[in-house]
Structure 1
Amino acid sequence: MVVCTAFAVTALGVEHSSVWGDAGRRGTAESLWGIAGWLAAVVACGAVVRVAIKRWAPNSNEILLGIVGLLMGIGWVFVARIDSLLASEQAVAVLLGLAVIAGTLVAGRHIDWFLSRPGACGLVAALLLAAGSFSGGANVSAGAYEAPRQWLNFGSLLSVQPYGLAKIVVVIAACGLTATAPRWLSDRLVPHRHAAGASAAAVGAWALLIIGGDLASSVIVFAAAWLPLWLDGDDLVGSDIPTVPRSTRARALHWVIATYVVGVGVVATVYDRLSAQIRYWLNPWIDAEGATVVDAAFAIGDGGLSGVGLGLGAPQHLHEPHSDFIFAVIAEELGILGAAALLVAFMLLVGVGAGIAQRARGTHRLVAAAVASVIGLQAFFAIAGVLRLLPHTVGALPFVAYGQLAMIGNCIAVGLLLAISNASNSPRGEPLHVPLGDP
């Protein structure tokens, strides 16, 4: 109801907008009403996924689907409002994402099969990183001072960015290596059960930074791999290697973070694009190349508290408004209140994921904590970059911004959370598969 109402109000707002002129206003409004069929397909697919969850994950936390469905729907409305030609592509991405959630619920029954093969998952992640390093289609630049993003085009309705899925695969491989490494490595090589998986994810993080030049994705993968080291309890969780006291883990984590920060600083001095991101973050007014963040600040300021209204903004003045700066478009048309509501939705999503991780067992706890961290950190970096709280890097808002493969990767994360939640909440007496790593 919220998404359909937002779409109708947006179409009506475009009809009364003075930005496009009379002819452009009528044409844009007619094009919005003409793509209402895609919205109907998205809503119908969401209902099918709801039935799939009741069938394959009846004990899961269904709040996840409500939050994700709201974010997907609002994101599609704004992408269609910004450029009606992208509405079909984004609708395909949403439909694929919802189908992936249902498919992950089925595959989630065999999640330990994937976790027991970290080498295969690592190979897939390496292939995705390699695919993102070579352009298979148009090279879409993210701005004058940002690293170019490589899009692989498959026909007119599918353009993918491999880095969006690589982050999830790297985290799954790291969690699997965490559970399996103690069985084939000596205690001297693996002093703690997280060391192997977190170290492997750190290698993936450095690859994202050096090969792809993607600072945000690198930090997300690195943090998602090392956060479970801090969040994990002091129980053995069935591991062959005893756990380390929290104070020792805290010291080790501080040293690892310090080393990573120093390494990022060194890389930033070598790569001009990374150093330019920091330079324009500190002072975007030094020349025209920092205008992307400045334009976003003006748009957010124009929105004020309650916004200018759906369909009444001017997203055409922003750079990549359908992806990198879609949060600025939302803040302009819905105001601070609408932007705050979006933040609350992401906070609820990450909070539900953290609750699922707290109730899970064994390696499932690490997977739930890691994928919830990936979603939360993606949203944090995307929004903080637009607000200039952090350097603006290549990063799109999960479930909201335009993009196919990033949508699929995040939907895989949601499907894993639903599958783990279903296993954790299974009633007594019902057969429950013992997670990998449990005795």
Structure 2
Amino acid sequence: MVTCTIFAVVALGLEQSSARGESGGLSETELLSAASLWGTAGWLTAVLVGGAATMRAIRQWAPRGNEILFSLMALLMGIGWVFVARVDARLASEQAVAMLLGFAAIAGILAAADCLDWFLSRPGACGLATVALLAAGSFASGASVSAGAYEPPRQLLDLGSLPSIQPYGLAKIVAAIAACGLATTAPRWLTPRLIPHRHAAGASVVMIGAWTLLIIGGELASSVIVFATACLPLWLDGDDLVGSDIPTAPRSTRARALSGVIATYAVGVGVLITVYDRLSAQVQYWLNPWVETAEATVVDAAFAISAGGISGVGPGLGAPQLLHQPHNDFIFAVVAEELGVLGGAALLIAFALLVGVGTGIAQRAQGAHRLLAAAVTSVIGMQAFFSIAGVLRLLPHTIGALPFVAYGPLAMIGNCIAVGLLLAISDASDAGSRQLQADES
């Protein structure tokens, strides 16, 4: 993150120099830019201090945790903060506060890691919290479909004088905890005869909820992510169910049950896209983005990425003001324009490494912890995939913050919670494996 500090100063300095007039004096705009530069540097210093304190907390409460995970997260957060401050310096303080709250969430999870099983044993409470967060975002959203124009729904909850928040980012992590808790507690209260069918029953409930989210919120990516996140623990459940003497369903039974539910969900999404204007507009705009659009155009993003070329136009020399929501929806286009294809590819590699580390942690974990690690890792990976694929027009463009990079307070906190859970699971798994080796020796 020290490198990101230098990068921020250079980028903001170039932006300030580009606004300088030919008179040689300092205009009012330049004085404001200088004040913004020093204020941004102050916030970044606070973030660096918070990151160092979090590293100290990791060494204190999770000394055997995977430090590569936190390093990758810090790299993505640093790059994201730089470009958010580059696009709109007024958002630098809000993003910095979100990062500091995320660091605090990581430290809090590690300090209360012993309570993780307590939360997993209460999936009902986490499920109600998920429904509340999804409902808050869904009923706050809206879409405009008129005269061929398309504006995607905005899941922003207006809090008056406070910054608007997007509840979906946090809801996906809470949904992962609820799904993992349900998968591990269900054998305790279901009879053995019903166990082979509980995977289909649980997935069916999730499917109906995902359809409801799709209809009310009109946002395809969030519906798919919530559905996949909840189904993944049901698929993994039974392979390593520690401490249970109840027979679990064979993988073939689970495969048939979940495959049927997934196929039904896909057919339902296809029908909704055909008959529902808000969804069909997303697909039509994806297939033909050159129609009249007031906002959220991926055409401008394509031109920005093309202008960047291989090595980019340079830090602070791009034109993010030409993009809609460059600090959130299209921040990947801003990165690709100023850092080029190489910078965009480096961002993709960082996400791939982050998902790979999380997958490794899940493979080494046991029981419910393995389900939870796999679920939260999939949430981060799928969010990054849908966000970048939407900008590149590989998939229909949807509203979704690029994890750790784009502006989004609740999304940032939710993703930091996911990293904190992975660090706690990694530390517990390593401690358990060492204890097992000691017992065997």
TM-score (norm 1): 0.90
Q: Is the CA contact (8 Å cut-off) linking 2:155 and 2:168 kept in structure 1?
A: no
Indicate how the Cα distance of structure 1 residues 123 and 64 shifts in structure 2: closer, same or farther if over 3 A, else same.
same
Give the equivalent residue in structure 1 for 2:159: 153
Give 3-state SS (helix, strand or coil) of 1:187's partner: coil
**Match status 1:415 vs 2:425:** no
Answer yes or no: is the 8 Å Cα contact 1:327–1:339 preserved in 2: yes
Structure-2 separation of matches of 1:89 and 1:290: 24
Residue range with higher mean Cα deviation, 189-198 or 172-181: 189-198
Identify if the C-alpha distance between structure 1 residues 192 and 112 changes in structure 2 by more than 3 Å, giving closer, same or farther: farther
Query: How many positions carry a matched residue from both structures?
Result: 428
Match of 1:437 in 2: none
Which deviations, in whole Å up to 9, do the C-alpha atoms of 1:91-132 show, x marking residues without a partner? 111111111111111222211100111111111112212322
Q: Offset at 1:191?
A: 1.2
- Could you tell me which residue of structure 2 aligns to residue 144 of structure 1? 150
In 1, distance between residues paired with 2:176 and 2:228? 10
Whether contact under 8 Å (2:210, 2:227) holds in the other structure is yes
Residue identity opposite 1:147 in structure 2 = P
Q: Does 1:405 align with 2:393?
A: no
Match of 1:163 in 2: 168
Contact kept? 2:184, 2:237, Cα under 8 Å: no
The residue type paired with residue 104 of structure 2 is: A
**Is 1:130 aligned to 2:135, yes or no?**
yes
CA contact (8 A) 1:318 1:325 kept: yes
The equivalences for 1:14-413 within 5 A come to 14-17=15-18, 24=29, 27-28=32-33, 30-135=35-140, 144-153=150-159, 155-156=161-162, 158-191=163-196, 194-195=199-200, 197-230=202-235, 234-288=239-293, 292-413=297-418
Q: Which residue of 2 aligns with 1:7?
A: 8
For residues 394 and 31 of structure 2, what CA distance do their matches in structure 1 show? 38
Q: Letter of the aligned partner of 2:153 in structure 1?
A: A
Distance 2:213 2:245 in 1: 32
CA contact (8 A) 2:180 2:233 kept: no
Separation in 1 of the partners of 2:218 and 2:112?
33
Decide whether the 8 Å contact of 2:199 with 2:258 is kept in 1. Answer: no
8 Å Cα contact 1:141/1:148 also seen in 2:
no
Secondary structure at 2:297's aligned position in 1? helix
What is the DSSP-based 3-state SS (H/G/I as helix, E as strand, rest coil) of the residue aligned with 1:147? coil
Q: Aligned-residue CA RMSD in angstroms?
A: 2.6
Q: Which amino acid aligns with 1:392?
A: H
- What does the per-residue CA deviation read over 1:276-333, in whole Å, with 9 as the maximum and x for residues that have no partner? 1100101111333587110000000000000001100000000000000000000000
Give the unaligned 5+ runs of structure 1. 432-439
Shift in CA distance, 291/147, structure 1 to aligned 2, threshold 3 Å: closer
Q: Are the equivalent residues in 1 in contact too, given 2:380–2:403 (CA < 8 A)?
A: yes
Separation in 2, partners of 1:21, 1:304: 29
1:142-179 superposed Cα distances (whole Å, 9 cap, x missing partner)? 993312323232644x4322121111111111110111
CA distance in 1, matches of 2:93, 2:176: 30
